[in-house]
Amino acid sequence: MSAEQARITIFDTTLRDGEQSPGCSMNQQEKLRLAHQLDRLGVDVIEAGFPIASEGDFEAVRAIAAVIRRPIIAGLARACAPDIERAWDALKDAAHPRIHVFLATSDIHLQYKLRITRDECVAQAREAVRLAKSFCDDVEFSPEDATRTDPEFLCRVLDAVVEAGATTLNIPDTVGYTVPSEFGELISTIRRRVKGIENVTISAHCHNDLGMAVANALAAVSAGARQVECTINGIGERAGNAALEEVVMAMRVRSDRFAYETGIVGEQIFAASQMLSEITGVPVQPNKAVTGRNAFAHEAGIHQDGMLKNPLTYEIMTPKSVGVPDSKLVLGKHSGRHALSIRCEQLGYQFDRRALDDIYRRFVRLADKIKHVEDHHLLELIRDTHKTSSSATPLIEPSSPARAAMASAAAPETPKPFPMVPLAGTFGVPLPGATEHHPEQQEDYLWGV
């Protein structure tokens, strides 16, 4: 870490807020398995659950606290004694426990949900933090619905909880309502106005109802927040939370704008995403940034041609940097001749120019019909073309992997999951000399568009 790069604490709430997503509930064993992966991923804080919510959640938090010893383990509690005592019961064996207390502060919540006055809210928040502090040094306080709270009143509540001993002030955009400039200003106001703020970590907890959770979290960091609360794949209540992988990779890829460091091991991101999806049965949206199966897939001829010459043309981070085995060039109707000829070579066939033209025309017709041309389709097409046209002669004999692929082409293909490990002969493996630029490739690029 360079001297000027501030360290951002990554607080993962996949096992708490994330688990609140419809369909994402996890049992104790599943939570424990994911907690181990979060540990490998290098998160600083794991919010393991909401111990008062159920017996199962209590046991899950307890089990995680007992075995995951490096990160801080946090448990959520409403601002009342039974919740805080239950949270502490679950956390007390943790190497680094944290009690996370929350209480709503917006007038809408005070009036309609809690039915308490502002004064009562301040007193309840203060008492709750005092109680939590009597058990545990590390106490986080969240004023729920902070972004719809009168900033004046918000600062009054925060003054009270800092005085009572809170060590982290988490500012939730509970309903995903704020926008980056506004959220940044709110963090600056808190930094200017709250007494004792210099001894406290400010945190951002952003929901994605308007699709701005990650942008809001980054704006908070730019304004001085030093903890970000986030989840794997961005799961969470309603539209979800800020996605951990997006926040972290935005800071890495755009370190010129966000000169911050995290302890995240990038190479573990994809494994965490896949494990969560496997446990919950909730698939990752294909075009999901960083972890979706299309995040490093290229179909357009122009893009494939660029990728084959130099991946920097169309990728701003390497797949390996986030644990994805490799980029994929998908053969479809938008693909160009360059990508097709490379794939044929990988399957063991090299064609002269006329033969390749022939194959390419047939390939485009096929892609129009079946959308994605898999290896076995391509091998059949090569065989057919070879049978019917004397010009389409392979210049080299198929190598043995190609023979194997041809043999397997006879069997019906089941859809393949995005590969977890590099597969021998997978399309997209960087090619020797792929960055060399030959004049005829420029023509391919035009032809393939």
In the chain, what is the straight-line distance between the N-terminal and C-terminal CA atoms, in Å? 44
Which of 9, 10, 17, 418 lies at the binding interface for Zn ion (CB under 5 A)?
Answer: 17
Q: Would you say 17 or 375 has its CB closer to ligand KIV?
A: 17
Q: Residue ranges of the alpha helices (H) in 225-285? A: 244-253, 269-280
**Shortest CB 294 distance to ligand KIV, Å:** 29
Applying CB under 6 A, the span of 120-128, 166-174, 355-363, 377-385 interacting with ligand KIV comes to: 166-174
**Shortest CB 143 distance to Zn ion, Å:** 12
Which of 28, 174, 233, 304 lies at the binding interface for ligand KIV (CB under 6 A)?
Answer: 174
Which of 96, 133, 205, 288 lies at the binding interface for ligand KIV (CB under 6 A)?
Answer: 205
**Residue that the structure tokens 């590099």 belong to:** 422
3-state secondary structure of 262: coil
**Shortest CB 445 distance to ligand KIV, Å:** 48
Q: Residue ranges of the alpha helices (H) in 371-438? A: 375-388, 400-409
Q: Please give the residue whose beta carbon sits closest to Zn ion in the complex.
A: 17
Lookup: tokens for 82: 């039974």
Enumerate residues 79-108 that contact ligand KIV by CB under 6 A.
Answer: 102
User: Distance between CA 408 and CA 378 in Å, rounded?
Assistant: 13
Closest CA to 337 of 320, 319, 362: 362
User: Distance between CA 107 and CA 150 in Å, rounded?
Assistant: 8
Q: Would you say 20 or 335 has its CB closer to ligand KIV?
A: 20
Q: Would you say 164 or 235 has its CB closer to Zn ion?
A: 235
Q: Would you say 150 or 436 has its CB closer to ligand KIV?
A: 150
Which of 42, 51, 172, 348 lies at the binding interface for ligand KIV (CB under 6 A)?
Answer: 172
Which residue spans within 297-371 are E strands per DSSP?
A: 297-298, 328-329
**Beta strand pairing status for 297-298 and 260-261?**
unpaired
CA 341 → CA 130, 305, 332, distances in Å? 69, 11, 14
User: Distance between CA 95 and CA 39 in Å, rounded?
Assistant: 14
Q: Would you say 172 or 266 has its CB closer to ligand KIV?
A: 172
Applying CB under 5 A, the span of 14-22, 335-343, 398-406, 417-425 interacting with Zn ion comes to: 14-22
Residue 136 CB partners (closer than 8 Å, separation 6+): 88, 91, 97, 98, 99
**Shortest CB 226 distance to ligand KIV, Å:** 17
Site for Zn ion contains 326 (CB under 5 A): no
User: Distance between CA 404 and CA 300 in Å, rounded?
Assistant: 28
Q: Which helix (H) or strand (E) holds 194?
A: none
**Shortest CB 78 distance to ligand KIV, Å:** 9
Site for ligand KIV contains 144 (CB under 6 A): yes
User: Distance between CA 41 and CA 79 in Å, rounded?
Assistant: 31
Enumerate residues 145-184 that contact Zn ion by CB under 5 A.
Answer: none
User: Distance between CA 436 and CA 367 in Å, rounded?
Assistant: 28
Q: Would you say 104 or 373 has its CB closer to ligand KIV?
A: 104
Which of 12, 17, 57, 305 lies at the binding interface for ligand KIV (CB under 6 A)?
Answer: 17
Q: Would you say 150 or 440 has its CB closer to ligand KIV?
A: 150
- Name the CA radius of gyration of the chain, rounded: 27
Enumerate residues 247-286 that contact ligand KIV by CB under 6 A.
Answer: none
Applying CB under 6 A, the span of 28-36, 114-122, 170-178, 302-310 interacting with ligand KIV comes to: 170-178
Site for Zn ion contains 44 (CB under 5 A): no
Enumerate residues 49-68 that contact Zn ion by CB under 5 A.
Answer: none
Site for ligand KIV contains 208 (CB under 6 A): no
**Residue 179 carries which side chain, given as an amino acid letter?**
V
User: Distance between CA 84 and CA 31 in Å, rounded?
Assistant: 21
For the beta carbon of residue 211, count every other beta carbon within 10 angstroms. Answer: 10
**Shortest CB 151 distance to ligand KIV, Å:** 17
**Shortest CB 79 distance to Zn ion, Å:** 16
Lookup: tokens for 126: 């203060």
**Shortest CB 362 distance to ligand KIV, Å:** 55
Site for ligand KIV contains 149 (CB under 6 A): no
* Residue pair 222/209 in contact by the 8 Å Cβ criterion: no
Q: What is the DSSP letter of 231?
A: B
Contact positions vs ligand KIV (CB under 6 A): 17, 102, 142, 144, 170, 172, 174, 205, 207
Contact positions vs Zn ion (CB under 5 A): 17
